[in-house]
Amino acid sequence: MAAPKRAQPEAAVRANLPFIYREYSPEQLRQVLHKMYLIRRFEEGAEECYMRGLIHGTMHLSIGQEASAMGICMPLAEHDQITSTHRGHGHCIAKGAEVKKMFAEFFGKTTGYCKGRGGSMHIADVAKGNLGANGIVAGGIPIAVGAALSAKRMKTGKVVVSFFGDGANNEGAFHEALNMASVWKLPVIFVCENNGYGMSTSTERSTAVKNIAERAAAYSMPGVIVNGNIFSEVAEASHRAVERARAGEGPTLIESKTYRHRGHSKSDRNRYRTKEEIEDWMSNRDPITLFENELQEFGIIDREGVEAIREAVAREIAEGIQFAKDSPSPDVRDVENYVYTEPA
């Protein structure tokens, strides 16, 4: 009798690895770390420019939520589409935007993604599939369903991700959009980045269910909860949802539990949460630190490699800000451009 075939030791080890180490090459994972740093430093750079009066208006920083943006976008192809939120800088970079054009937009310059008409709250990169951040809570959710309807009707094979926050799950648009997406089995993934607060109001005070993912049951779609600060968990959930969508099985609701280190916007005095709470998330659950340590443990990157990423990102940010500063402002005479499609 032949002895039972033993699994190859390497394959056995591999099967026990977290999802991302089975799915992606070391180089891809180093790229992820690079991009997470790029998001973090972009927002820190934007914040500094704001403090120095170089950027006006306001902005909503996603510092602390980088693993969520990167993990969700990881299985997306370039032609796949997203709709984003007022806290959308990370989504934009994760979907492939260039930081110099984002800085230029924040500076209100013609070289910006929206030619200086949109700013932080409407940052978009249509060529890379980002249909735009949105200043209206839940505004992008039905739009994503519409994009998914186009994908299904035109048989493009695209999937669409709609990012939104915990605040949006109490808007009527959330209910209407998720219901329609499920009824029509559209290739769309609803990603609720639950950072615990809709501006100052905690989810405990605003939301009748403990987990927003529980609401998926009402729309007969899978509801998945992930630790949004652990890249591998987010990426794995996104993979499953993308596969399901591409197979024509319909939408998924992913709740990515995370935290924003900064306030809601630039006017926030942080009176609704404690210093200890913020400190805990920053020190013990920072998504970049967690991912970086894990990559080092797995021998995918060493200290020098991390340092090289940091330096490269710092250069990219500095060049981006310089590009924005050097770019031309729009001509005031063009103020009415883009309201309507210009005659050919």
Q: Which of 261, 205, 276, 268 is nearest to 229 (CA)?
A: 261
Using the rule CB under 8 A, which residue among 33, 55, 173, 242 binds another protein? Answer: 173
Q: Closest approach of Cβ 149 to another protein, in Å?
A: 5
Nearer CB in complex with another protein: 13/136: 136
- Binding pattern for the stretch 125-164 against another protein, x by CB under 8 A and - elsewhere: -xx---xx-xxx--x-xxxxxxxxxxx-xx----------
Q: Closest approach of Cβ 109 to another protein, in Å?
A: 11
Q: Closest approach of Cβ 98 to another protein, in Å?
A: 14
Using the rule CB under 8 A, which residue among 179, 201, 211, 265 binds another protein? Answer: 179
Q: Closest approach of Cβ 127 to another protein, in Å?
A: 8
Q: Which of 115, 116, 52, 123 is nearest to 88 (CA)?
A: 123
Compute φ and ψ for 11, nearest 5 degrees. -65, -35
Under the binding rule (CB under 8 A), the answer on residue 99 touching another protein is no
Residues 6+ apart with CB under 8 A from 283: none
Stretch binding another protein (CB under 8 A), from 31-39, 54-62, 170-178, 251-259: 170-178
Under the binding rule (CB under 8 A), the answer on residue 183 touching another protein is yes
d(CA 83, CA 133): 6
Residue count at the site for another protein (CB under 8 A)?
46
Residues in the chain: 344
Q: Closest approach of Cβ 341 to another protein, in Å?
A: 4
3 state SS of 164: strand
Using the rule CB under 8 A, which residue among 115, 185, 240, 261 binds another protein? Answer: 115
Q: Closest approach of Cβ 81 to another protein, in Å?
A: 7
Residues 6+ apart with CB under 8 A from 206: 166, 167, 170, 198
Question: Within 52-81, which residues bind another protein (CB under 8 A)?
Answer: 81
Under the binding rule (CB under 8 A), the answer on residue 177 touching another protein is yes
Nearer CB in complex with another protein: 72/173: 173
Q: Closest approach of Cβ 334 to another protein, in Å?
A: 11
CB atoms within 10 A of CB 57: 12
CB distance 131 to 175 below 8 Å: no
- What angle do helix axes 287-297 and 66-73 make, rounded to 10 degrees? 60
d(CA 170, CA 44): 30
Question: Within 197-236, which residues bind another protein (CB under 8 A)?
Answer: none
Q: Which residues pair with 202 in a beta bridge?
A: 197
Residue owning tokens 């970049």: 288
Compute φ and ψ for 270, nearest 5 degrees. 55, 45
Residue 110's Cβ-count burial label (10 Å; 0-12, 13-18, 19+) is: middle
What single letter denotes the amino acid at residue 344?
A
For the sheet containing 188-194, what is the strand order?
A: 81-83, 160-165, 188-194, 252-257, 223-227
Q: Closest approach of Cβ 37 to another protein, in Å?
A: 27
Nearer CB in complex with another protein: 55/104: 104
- Binding pattern for the stretch 312-341 against another protein, x by CB under 8 A and - elsewhere: -------------------------xxxxx
Using the rule CB under 8 A, which residue among 38, 61, 63, 114 binds another protein? Answer: 114
Q: Closest approach of Cβ 95 to another protein, in Å?
A: 14
Nearer CB in complex with another protein: 175/261: 175
Residues 6+ apart with CB under 8 A from 303: 296
- Give contact residues for another protein (rule: CB under 8 A): 81, 83, 112-118, 122, 124, 126-127, 131-132, 134-136, 139, 141-151, 153-154, 172-173, 175-177, 179-180, 183, 337-342
